[in-house]
């Protein structure tokens, strides 16, 4: 039996948003232990360059390795789009991002072969969602739109606010004119806007939450590597949370979206 089976999974994000991915992993793989790192001191990644996001992601991976993780999930869409391909060959444990699972789900869901993608500026500029969809099915037309105002609106807690609705109508206008039938919420924060986005897009548009499919794909990846936790042995704390900035805001947000009360430890990430 592989002893790594009982080690935790490392999950990281630029800040708080990756907790939407944690929530899906907790639901789908309740026996797994998790170590989460949120880079709250350096958020947002969504407007930063590829070189910077790779440097930050490498530091976080080094930190997670000190926590003896058996696998890593890049919960951040921007880091998945900009850094996963570089980091994957540099480490000897399985690693997965959220972009490919989200793409797979959207390609399966579309009937009229017209998919919209909304994400941060850096994710859209990377073109990864667009490329992976076209590679999966060359007949699918992809329409992409950066929505930089959504992240601060969600962090402000304005997920049902009329202001956010007006912003969403403006952002989605062009995509809806293109008659998309599937919309990828390609940023950690957007699933928290799900009901508002559904209202604006209409019930004919299927919303895709990459976090959901990532949790499924993670289960398959752990199984293939023989390191799926069977829950037979209780070792240490189940969930541990770390952040690079002070933790009060992180705890408040986490406790509003997770089914568990959590505490967080601050980490000097620049030293990794």
Residues marked active site are found at 76, 187
Q: Which is nearer to ligand DGL, 120 or 264 (CB)?
A: 120
**Separation in Å, CA 111 to CA 177, 200, 210:** 17, 20, 18
Residue of 77, 126, 206, 214 interacting with ligand DGL (CB under 6 A): 77
Stretch that binds ligand DGL, among 26-34, 70-78, 126-134, 257-265 (CB under 6 A): 70-78
Residue 265, CB-side half-sphere exposure with 13 Å CA sphere? 10
Residue of 71, 187, 217, 228 interacting with ligand DGL (CB under 6 A): 187
Find out whether the peptide bond into 44 is cis, omega within 30 degrees of 0: yes
- Judged by CB under 6 A, the number of residues near ligand DGL is 17
b/e for 113-149, b at 16 or more Cβ within 10 A?
bbbbbbbbebbbbbebbbebbbeeeeebebbbbbbbe
Stretch that binds ligand DGL, among 27-35, 181-189, 199-207, 215-223 (CB under 6 A): 181-189
Instruction: Check: CB of residue 222 under 8 Å from CB of residue 150.
Output: no
Residue 188 within binding range of ligand DGL, rule CB under 6 A: yes
Residue 44 within binding range of ligand DGL, rule CB under 6 A: yes
Kindly give the pairing relationship between strand 239-243 and strand 264-266: parallel
Q: Which is nearer to ligand DGL, 218 or 228 (CB)?
A: 218
Residue 126 within binding range of ligand DGL, rule CB under 6 A: no
Residue of 61, 76, 132, 175 interacting with ligand DGL (CB under 6 A): 76
User: What is the edge-to-edge ordering of all strands in the sheet holding 9-13?
Assistant: 95-96, 71-74, 9-13, 34-38, 239-243, 264-266
Q: Which positions lie near ligand DGL, rule CB under 6 A?
A: 13-15, 17, 43-46, 76-78, 120, 123, 151, 187-189
């Amino acid at each position: 039996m592989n002893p790594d089976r009982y080690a935790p999974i490392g999950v990281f994000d630029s800040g708080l948003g990756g907790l939407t991915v944690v929530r899906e992993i907790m639901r789908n793989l309740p026996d797994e232990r998790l170590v989460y790192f949120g880079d709250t001191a350096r958020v947002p990644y969504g407007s930063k360059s590829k070189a910077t996001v790779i440097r930050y992601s490498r530091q976080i991976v080094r930190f997670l390795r000190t926590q003896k993780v058996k696998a890593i999930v890049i919960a951040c869409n921007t880091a998945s789009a900009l850094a996963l391909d570089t980091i994957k060959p540099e480490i000897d444990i399985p690693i997965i991002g959220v972009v490919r699972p989200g793409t797979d789900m959207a390609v399966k869901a579309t009937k009229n072969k017209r998919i919209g993608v909304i994400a941060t500026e850096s994710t859209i500029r990377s073109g990864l969602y667009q490329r992976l969809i076209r590679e999966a099915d060359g007949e699918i037309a992809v329409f992409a739109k950066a929505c930089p105002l959504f992240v601060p609106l969600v962090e402000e807690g304005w997920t049902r606010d009329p202001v956010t609705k007006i912003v969403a109508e403006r952002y989605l206008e062009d995509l809806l004119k293109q008659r998309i039938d599937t919309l990828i919420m390609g940023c950690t924060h957007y699933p928290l806007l799900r009901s508002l986005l559904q209202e604006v897009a209409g019930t004919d548009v299927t919303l895709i939450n990459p976090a959901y499919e990532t949790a499924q794909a993670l289960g398959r990846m752990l199984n293939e590597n023989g390191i799926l936790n069977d829950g037979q042995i209780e070792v240490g704390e189940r969930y541990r949370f770390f952040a690079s900035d002070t933790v009060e805001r992180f705890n408040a947000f986490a406790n509003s979206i997770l089914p568990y009360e959590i505490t967080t430890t601050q980490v000097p990430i620049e030293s990794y």
